[in-house]
Structure 1
Amino acid sequence: MKSLSRYAAVLLACAAPVVSVFAQDTAPAVSQQVPAGAPKLIVAISIDQFSADIFAQYRQRFTGGFARLTQGAVFPAGFQSHAATETCPGHSTILTGNRPAHTGIIANSWIDQSVTTGPKVVYCAEDVAKRTAGSRDYVASPVHLLVPTLGEWMKKANPAARNIAVSGKDRGALMMGGHDIDQVYWWKGKQFVTLAGREPGPTAIAQNAEIDRLLAKGAGEFPLPAYCRRADRAVQAGDVSVGNGHFALKAGEAEQFRVSPRLDRATLDLAVKLVDEQKLGRNAVPDILSVSLSATDYVGHATGTEGAEMCIQLTQLDLALGDFFASLDKRGIDYAVVLTADHGGFDIPERLHEQGLEKTSRVGPEVSAEALSATLGKRYGLEPKGLILSDGPAGDYWLRKDLDVGLKGKIIDDASAILMTSPFVEKVLSAAEIAATPMPHGSPETWTLAERARASYNPLHSGDFVVMLKRGVVAIPQARKGYVATHGSPWDYDRRVPILFWRKGMTGFEQPSPVETVDIAPSLAALIGLKTPKGHLTDAASISMVARQTRVEHRSERVAG
């Protein structure tokens, strides 16, 4: 923790003076002093399912926004260090400085048997208290996030600070923005929406109208870069053919819009417009803009990570980021950027088999909660329905809450024994085992599976035991349209993500040693001189412990208004 300020000093020393075209704006009162040279705007970007492997694979191809960021501080071996590598827990680490064990966001969803309205499955960004009987919809909310975000610290220190978030998913925006957020938007159905009880602002309304016009007329395919041709071939995954899609948009097909580079472009366009609407970066205190880009994840789930679709997606995202940064440049705002991801990803087994990776597979049915319930219900003379519950064939499992504690222990032991005979299962850990494991420290690449599970475990939401599949086993029993590949495992292909910092004028450097995404928030806080709440940053090991070893020379530049 003591070295956090050293990393912030690196970025401050690298800062280029900026002449703002909005210098005439009246500055608000400042409650906590902002250090000289601090940026006016923090831009925190998360790319959903942007693994360190994908970053390394395409790094030399980037010419736009990614290319700019690689001229800054590059940490190619960042870690979402926990076991449950899903969107919601991953986003909850980026701007809180805490692992899921403390954020309370242990997965995208969990089982809560005390829920009286609707299903027992609780979505991580859902206010269950506002469920209505018979409704298939939910009220999106950050209610389950137990710790504040960087934007909330900023607003507490300086109420004039603006905390804005936009995403292709509600959980991306809400986990990065937090509870005290000025404006928040995410894609839903055919438009960007905001929190219940709030009306969309004029900027979001205009952006939705623009998208409506695009959806009405449709659009052609994206061009296929020459380096994508190697991947441009059909691969069969069950009844689904993937690998050679180019994202043509049929008129009225909002789903095709969502699972395409167009979603990220629209999200970034909205972000730029919100900079203007909310006057971000134009006041005496720093603001924060969180942008979660979801299309890479949607494309990864629908087509895998190694087809033409992903190649086109990353090419177009690179260009869209380049345009986004250029738009901020034109506004003369002194901004600092951090870009990372909520988790990594894994390709479809069918394509990996063609490459000779025979140890990859889809999970078998015997791992399901239903199969376990049937076997153990018969063994113990119990009603099998609902005996064991889960939200998928891996991760957290729950036993029926009315069972005797002693009986629960026996069933967990038996379930573990059964699961460990499966060729798909690597490890089964009881909640008691995980809770007894000390919170891990040191390099996340050396953590045991129990330590990775501990970083995800929160007794408020976690299950009675956790099932970890073997490396290379995909937690999708059967491919279906829109869902042929996934993530969520405790293995490094899902845990490793890049972490990139950039600010105009800084001398770039690269540090390959492992660091954690929980190091991001305290580093940014130190950059803007923010005194973070005592006790909130319990997990951060600090990126700066690595960064301080690298000398970065000051380079003074000036940006014209």
Structure 2
Amino acid sequence: MRLKLFAAAAALFASASLAQPARPPKLLVVISVDQFSANLFDEYRPQFTAGLARIASGTVFRNGYQSHAATETCPGHSTILTGSHPARTGIIANNWIDQSVGRSDKSVYCAEDETQPGTSSTAYKVSPKHLLVPTLGELMKARWPGSRNVAASGKDRAAVMMTGHNVDQRWYWTGKQYSTDLNVAPPAVVAKVNALAAQGLATAREPLETTPFCQTKARAVPVTGGGKPVGTGRLARAANDQTAFRQSPEFDGNTLALAAALVDEMQLGRRADPDLLAISLSATDYVGHGFGTEGEEMCLQLTELDREIGDFLKVLDSRGIDYAVTLTADHGGKDVPERERLAGVADAARVDPALNVSNMGKALMARLGLPGPGLLGEGSFGDMYIDKRLRAGEHDRLLKAALAAYRAHPQVEAVFTARQIAATPMPQGDPVKWTLLQRVRASYHAGRSGDFYVALKRDITPIADTSRAVATHGSVWDYDRRVPILFWRPGVAGTTVERSAETTDILPTLASMIGLPVQASSIDGHCLADVPGTTCPRR
């Protein structure tokens, strides 16, 4: 039995007659589907029949790119509505190390204010403090004071990075309800949606009804490292199981219900100035982490996501709003290596625990006869930091030893020093052709990035302990970089474009669509002339 999330929320919405669209659009709806890789889009595109099918009938860049190396949620969302790479946005990762922070926890969360007393990177005060550039919604508000900049999201970092500092409403799931970091009066519909979400969470969910196509995906695959087998789950859950709730289409359905409710209460798209609604849907990411990308679980998630987005678009249709939709992803994703090996990916493997920054640091410090952890970081790849408490000579000895150790490991593709990265010009042109060093450069921001950067080899999954997650993303490789970029308006014909585009191109393209001037030197992206309704400047 398919989920009826919008049926439960229908009482929140009043009916209205359908009107013919005008130009430019009065409401820009920008949807990010977390971990929706271009590989998944290509695979499931023939199966979509509802919302994703409608959006895919527009202008489709199937070779879109999150061009940078740090293919994580926070950096990816920071590019979508700023037109800039992480090197400019300052959002180099979900978390980075700042040894100057006046607390024992030196890890900094991308969407926190670490100066708040009593906080940590896991118990934080949500803030856009670290985002260094304006978003499209902020630029719209600067040009048209009546414009509204609004977000509904499954994750706080996604909502923050898509809206920025000057925001009208920003709501995101915090475990039991949708909350905000803003000091604003909450719309009445938020309490109603929270009540519906709480009711749903408290009710056990039966297994979803599968489909013939999803049945072809059903194959139990054992997972090494302590995890349970994956591949045949149908997303059932017990009452009040928050993890399973996030790993389900009902999570996205609630976020879309909140977005639709905000459209109505705030009358988005129905005043003189254009509005922006940013929506980040997180369940695909949680399903990917929990079950991988190629099992029955992901198939059921994407089937229901297609339907829920379709229901959301029907709400907008019924309001007579002149709107345009952009859909993309913050990053791609990769399946579990155990299933990949069954599919013939011979090099697919889990990371050697010795590469974890803590294990490597302890081993190197013991070898060098030095005290302390030595190395700081967030895992087995990405930015690595030398402990600043070391003396200059000790620092140099440890850096030299760490570079040699990582470069010698058979699972490591490349290691770049901060000096090497900083000396590399910012890459331009086709992101497909960027070298690994150029991809890392697009993620590098002096003062936040590490002393060196470790890139694992292709098909190495950086998860050894699978008790909490079995698959992930974050690599420099195209399975994590390549994402779909779709532009759609009701009644406007589209096409599929094979050449590459970047998520940084979304801001200038939408700005052109609504007649918003943007200084080219202030962003990294370029207007996409293939999108109807744009007046892109010549390049």
Question: For this structure pair, what is the TM-score category when the shorter chain's length is used for normalisation?
Answer: over 0.9
Aligned to 1:527: 513
CA offset at residue 123 of structure 1?
Answer: 0.6
Aligned to 2:373: 386
CA offset at residue 352 of structure 1?
Answer: 1.0
- Tell me the distance in 2 between the aligned counterparts of 1:65 and 1:345: 22
Q: Is the 8 A contact 1:366 1:422 kept in 2?
A: no
Aligned to 2:273: 285
> CA deviation digits over 1:212-268, x for unaligned, max 9?
222233232211111011211221113312111111232222322111111000000
Return the match for 2:383 from 372, 391, 396.
Answer: 396
Return the match for 2:305 from 317, 336, 344.
Answer: 317
Q: Is the 8 A contact 1:168 1:292 kept in 2?
A: yes
Change in CA separation of 1:314 and 1:72 when aligned onto 2, cut-off 3 Å:
same
Change in CA separation of 1:200 and 1:446 when aligned onto 2, cut-off 3 Å:
same
Q: Which runs of 4+ in 1 moved over 4 A?
A: 20-23, 133-136, 196-199, 404-407
Moved more, 504-513 or 336-345: 504-513
User: Within the alignment, does 1:168 sit opposite 2:168 as a pair?
Assistant: no
Q: Is the 8 A contact 2:110 2:130 kept in 1?
A: yes
- Tell me the distance in 2 between the aligned counterparts of 1:469 and 1:134: 29
What is the TM-score with the length of structure 2 in the denominator? 0.92
> CA deviation digits over 1:453-497, x for unaligned, max 9?
00000012100000000000001112113x100000000000000
The aligned runs of 1:114-513 (5 Å cut-off) are 114-132=100-118, 137-195=123-181, 197-198=183-184, 200-238=186-224, 239=226, 240-383=228-371, 385-405=372-392, 407-481=394-468, 483-513=469-499
- Tell me the distance in 2 between the aligned counterparts of 1:65 and 1:134: 39
- Tell me the distance in 1 between the aligned counterparts of 2:48 and 2:70: 30
Aligned to 2:10: none
The aligned runs of 1:34-49 (5 Å cut-off) are 37-49=23-35
User: Within the alignment, does 1:111 sit opposite 2:97 as a pair?
Assistant: yes
- Tell me the distance in 1 between the aligned counterparts of 2:203 and 2:358: 45
CA offset at residue 380 of structure 1?
Answer: 3.3
CA offset at residue 499 of structure 1?
Answer: 0.3
Q: Is the 8 A contact 1:118 1:133 kept in 2?
A: no
- Tell me the distance in 1 between the aligned counterparts of 2:394 and 2:286: 41
CA offset at residue 430 of structure 1?
Answer: 0.4
- Tell me the distance in 2 between the aligned counterparts of 1:367 and 1:253: 33
Instruction: Give the secondary structure class of the aligned counterpart of 2:60.
Output: strand
- Tell me the distance in 1 between the aligned counterparts of 2:269 and 2:280: 19
Instruction: Give the secondary structure class of the aligned counterpart of 1:130.
Output: coil
CA offset at residue 381 of structure 1?
Answer: 2.8
| Unmatched 5+ stretches in structure 2 | 1-15
CA offset at residue 332 of structure 1?
Answer: 0.2
Instruction: Give the secondary structure class of the aligned counterpart of 2:309.
Output: helix
Change in CA separation of 1:118 and 1:209 when aligned onto 2, cut-off 3 Å:
farther
Aligned to 2:4: none
CA offset at residue 121 of structure 1?
Answer: 0.6
Q: Is the 8 A contact 1:104 1:460 kept in 2?
A: no
- Tell me the distance in 1 between the aligned counterparts of 2:511 and 2:121: 41
- Tell me the distance in 1 between the aligned counterparts of 2:111 and 2:198: 26
- Tell me the distance in 1 between the aligned counterparts of 2:333 and 2:121: 32
- Tell me the distance in 2 between the aligned counterparts of 1:206 and 1:242: 35
- Tell me the distance in 2 between the aligned counterparts of 1:421 and 1:151: 46
What is the TM-score with the length of structure 1 in the denominator? 0.89
CA offset at residue 404 of structure 1?
Answer: 4.3
Change in CA separation of 1:134 and 1:397 when aligned onto 2, cut-off 3 Å:
closer
- Tell me the distance in 2 between the aligned counterparts of 1:438 and 1:325: 42
Q: Count matched residues.
A: 515
Aligned to 1:32: none
Kindly indicate whether structure 1 or structure 2 has the higher relative contact order, using CA contacts under 8 Å at least 6 residues apart.
1
CA offset at residue 370 of structure 1?
Answer: 2.1
Change in CA separation of 1:133 and 1:285 when aligned onto 2, cut-off 3 Å:
closer
How well do the aligned residues superpose, as a CA RMSD in angstroms?
2.0
- Tell me the distance in 2 between the aligned counterparts of 1:534 and 1:419: 39
Q: Is the 8 A contact 1:118 1:131 kept in 2?
A: no
- Tell me the distance in 1 between the aligned counterparts of 2:337 and 2:205: 31
State the one-letter code of the partner of 2:158: G
CA offset at residue 388 of structure 1?
Answer: 0.5
Aligned to 1:556: none
> CA deviation digits over 1:330-367, x for unaligned, max 9?
00000011000000000001111222222010110221
Change in CA separation of 1:125 and 1:136 when aligned onto 2, cut-off 3 Å:
closer
Instruction: Give the secondary structure class of the aligned counterpart of 1:373.
Output: helix
Aligned to 2:525: 540
Aligned to 1:29: none
- Tell me the distance in 2 between the aligned counterparts of 1:494 and 1:406: 38
Aligned to 1:14: none
Instruction: Give the secondary structure class of the aligned counterpart of 1:231.
Output: coil
Instruction: Give the secondary structure class of the aligned counterpart of 2:311.
Output: helix
- Tell me the distance in 1 between the aligned counterparts of 2:122 and 2:140: 36
Aligned to 1:67: 53
CA offset at residue 401 of structure 1?
Answer: 1.4
Once the two structures are aligned, what percentage of the paired residues are identical? 50
Instruction: Give the secondary structure class of the aligned counterpart of 1:499.
Output: strand
- Tell me the distance in 1 between the aligned counterparts of 2:394 and 2:418: 15
Q: Is the 8 A contact 2:337 2:348 kept in 1?
A: yes
The aligned runs of 1:54-93 (5 Å cut-off) are 54-93=40-79
- Tell me the distance in 2 between the aligned counterparts of 1:196 and 1:440: 36
Q: Is the 8 A contact 1:362 1:478 kept in 2?
A: no
Q: Is the 8 A contact 1:193 1:200 kept in 2?
A: no
CA offset at residue 420 of structure 1?
Answer: 1.6
CA offset at residue 402 of structure 1?
Answer: 3.1
